[in-house]
Amino acid sequence: MPDVTIIDVSPRDGLQNDPNPVSTEEKLQLIRMLVEAGISKVEVTSFVHPLKVPQMADASQLMDTMDSIQGVEAIALIPNLKGYERARVHQLTELNWVSAATETFNAKNIGMSINENMEQFLDVLQMAKKDGIQTCFSVAVSFGCPYEGEVAEEDVLNIVKRVKEAGVDRIGIADTIGIATPDHVERLMKKVLAIANGTPVTIHLHDTRGLGLTNAYAAYQAGVRIFETSASGIGGCPFAPGAAGNLATEDLVYLFERMNISTGIDFEKLLDAADYAALLSTKTPLGRIRHVERKQEKGNEG
């Protein structure tokens, strides 16, 4: 068994904010390459309103093709009850429900208050249990909000307590705008893990200020063993002004493997998937190690 689990979110979070239309087949190819590299858990799409996030308008079409890929555990982001009704008819392993730690971000992101969002999630949670679909509840802007600034740790922890008591299968903590620092990450994640008390906890990091890897290692030191990343570091939240891409999957895998922390991922195949992800995006990928490895390969060829 690997020491850590990597969930790649590039087909959803990596592409959702890109103005260049990406075809269903291209998304499917990216997912296929990630799975071939050894990443079995992939956040493949989101069932949001197509007018809000046009890139995800093919969510149902993409999910209909997922049975062509063996060994993938498909995760989809679900923003509301209507989104769940659309998603539940597909072969979905897990749904990822997102609520922000601040009222302003919630209002701009999903048009609900924190309590309204929570009440709707609790209804969806019960339906998902009956449908045999696992649930993850992710807390956005856990380390800082683009609208309200600093976020009190207690606000994050109160949400974690509620979803833990409700019986969620996984809890996600997100640094949506890439504002976190290693000391903050380690301190908060230790508290989250204590409340979770056995429920798996994931951290989702953005590399906006170049601290993604150090924050990931701080989370590992705190006890986190599940990480959400994006191939080549593409992505960014459309409702978080200034948010750059996600922490690059290949950068984190490189770090862990060099430290003898096993990921179960084929690094060379992952680089191929990261190359492909970068081609699909019009934004400058934040991933670093891919460029170094490719330059070395060209040097060796010469």
Residue 144 has which token pair?
A: 């800082």
Q: Tell me phi and psi for residue 125, to 5 degrees.
A: -55, -45
- Do the strands 5-8 and 226-229 form a parallel or antiparallel pair, or are they unpaired? parallel
Q: Which of 7, 237, 248, 273 is catalytic?
A: 237
Taking CA atoms, 144 is separated from 66, 147, 206, 212, 244, in Å, by: 35, 9, 12, 15, 14
- 129-153 per-residue burial string, b: 16 or more CB within 10 A, e: under 16: eeeebbbbbbbbbbbbbbebeebeb
Q: Is residue 237 annotated as part of the catalytic site, yes or no?
A: yes
3-state per-residue secondary structure call for 204-232? EEECCCCCHHHHHHHHHHHCCCEEEEEHH
- Alpha-carbon gap, residue 241 to 25, rounded angstroms: 30
SS3 237: coil
Which residues are marked as active site?
237
